[in-house]
Amino acid sequence: MREQASYFKINSNTVAAVMLISLFSSCYYSRSSPGWEYMPDMNHSLAYETYASNPFFPDSMNAIQPVTNTIPRGVYMPFHYSTQLTGYDSAGVNLNFPDWLNDEEKEQGKYIFEIYCAVCHGKSGVGNGTIVENPKIKNPYPPPPSYFSENLINLPVGKMYYSVHYGKNLMGPYGKILNRNEIWKVVYYVKSLQQHHKDSIATAGTATASADTAAAVATTTGGDSTKAAADTASKK
């Protein structure tokens, strides 16, 4: 019985000593190092790091280049129009709206427009964006031309795409910021603004025309009621 107790005593002392030693030896001075790692696989992924070397590839580079002359999926597509004026003209003739554009895409185009373009072009497209017309800005940005100006109102969509992709004079390029579909959506939206403008002019024109006819009738007949109708029409 006595022998057993002393055996136990020695044993528990040894265990305590081992525990203390391992406790202190596991404390490591450097704060930037984790010290000993007992199960590193639990902490570190076994996958290769993107830019690490990899013995399985002939050039030992883990980040493999895309196969020559191929384009990775979902990445920015090349734009095959020259940066010279001929490229602009050619885009105007050959590039057209893809057939998947619809009202929903137009809404997305509006969203993109208000993020990237409205600061200069203004929400309505007349060229009065916040960096152009802002009393707090000391040197305001020169106003871009209105989308409804004579030069731009009938600008072919291909030319618009081209200018948004490459930029034009004071407007920066968006080819690396927006992908192909996004540029189409935003151009579609710009065209819809222009169409809306043309439609409103046409309606106003019809109103004026009918006012003129009514006025002419009023003069010939001398009728007050027709004159009143002419006034209402011209106010539209």
Which residues lie near ligand HEC (CB under 6 A)?
116-117, 119-121, 144-145, 152, 155, 159-160, 163-164, 168-171, 174, 186, 190
Q: Cβ 118 to ligand HEC, closest distance in Å?
A: 8
In degrees, to the nearest 5, what angle opens at C-alpha 224 toward C-alphas 221 and 230?
90
Give the separation between CA 130 and CA 92, rounded to whole angstroms. Answer: 30
Report the half-sphere exposure of 178 (CA within 13 A, side-chain side).
26
Task: Compute the least distance from the CB of residue 127 to ligand HEC, in Å.
Answer: 8
Closest to ligand HEC by CB, 120 vs 218, is 120
Query: In whole angstroms, what is the distance from residue 136 CA to residue 82 CA?
Result: 40
Minimum CB distance to ligand HEC, residue 120 (Å): 3
Task: Please name the residues in contact with 178: beta carbons below 8 A apart, sequence gap of 6 or more.
Answer: 112, 116, 164, 186
Greatest C-alpha distance within the chain:
139
Which is nearer to ligand HEC, 42 or 170 (by Cβ)? 170
Q: Report the residue number, 34 or 145, with the smaller CB distance to ligand HEC.
A: 145
Q: Write down the least CB distance from residue 92 to ligand HEC, Å.
A: 9
What's the CA gap between 79 and 75, in Å, rounded? Answer: 12
DSSP symbols for 54-69: -TTSTT-BSSPPPPTT
CA angle (105, 109, 112) in 5-degree steps: 140
- Shortest approach of ligand HEC to residue 99 CB, angstroms? 20
Tell me how far apart the alpha carbons of residues 49 and 23 are, in angstroms, rounded to a whole number.
Answer: 33
Nearer to ligand HEC, 146 or 214 (CB): 146
- Pick 41 or 150: Cβ nearer ligand HEC: 150
CB of residue 93 to ligand HEC, shortest distance in Å: 14
**Residues in Cβ contact with 228 at an 8 Å cutoff, skipping those fewer than 6 apart:** none
- By beta-carbon proximity to ligand HEC, the closer residue of 16 and 177 is 177
